[in-house]
Every structure is written in structure tokens, then in C-alpha cells.
Amino acid sequence: MKFVNGKTGAEVRLGFFDQETGEQIDAADLAIKEGPGADDRVRWRLSQGEQRRRKA
């Protein structure tokens, strides 16, 4: 599967950008943070993932 510009057919690059600096960041540097609607289950799941990431 490829993502392309629907008007030109040219392939597009997807990326992650720091909203404060505009700097493009590597997917390996991404972290998930709880949002305003997070409940106890979401916070638990995120904490489990963080513990696994620290062990790696």
C-alpha cells in the first residue's frame, strides 16, 4: 500500500513533527501520553507500556 497525492499520483512522505519546534522526529522517539478523557484503565495500559519500553 502506498500513500499518494490524489491529484498528481506522486508518492507522499508521512512524518511526525514536534508542534513546538516544527522539527521532524523519528517514529522511534514517539511516546504516548494520556489525553483529557483517559480513565484508570487507559492510565494503567500506558504505564505498562512505559515499563516495557524502559526494560528494552
- pLDDT tens-digit profile of 12-49? 998 999 999 999 999 888 888 999 999 999 999 999 98
Cα dist from 35 to 18, 38, 39, 40, 52, whole Å? 17, 5, 9, 12, 20
In this prediction, residue 31 carries a pLDDT of 87
Give a yes or no: residue 44 inside a domain.
Answer: yes
Give a yes or no: residue 48 inside a domain.
Answer: yes
Are 23 and 17 in contact by the 8 Å Cβ rule? The answer is yes
SS3 55: helix
Give a yes or no: residue 1 inside a domain.
Answer: no
pLDDT-based confidence at 55, cuts 50/70/90? confident
pLDDT-based confidence at 50, cuts 50/70/90? confident
Give a yes or no: residue 8 inside a domain.
Answer: no
DSSP state of 31: -
Say how many domains are in the chain.
1
Average pLDDT value for residue range 2-11: 96
Give a yes or no: residue 3 inside a domain.
Answer: no
- Alpha-carbon span 54 to 56, nearest angstrom: 5
Give a yes or no: residue 6 inside a domain.
Answer: no
What does the block give as the cell for 27?
A: 517514529
Q: Could you tell me the residue range of the domain that residue 33 belongs to?
A: 16-55
pTM of structure = 0.54
Give a yes or no: residue 27 inside a domain.
Answer: yes
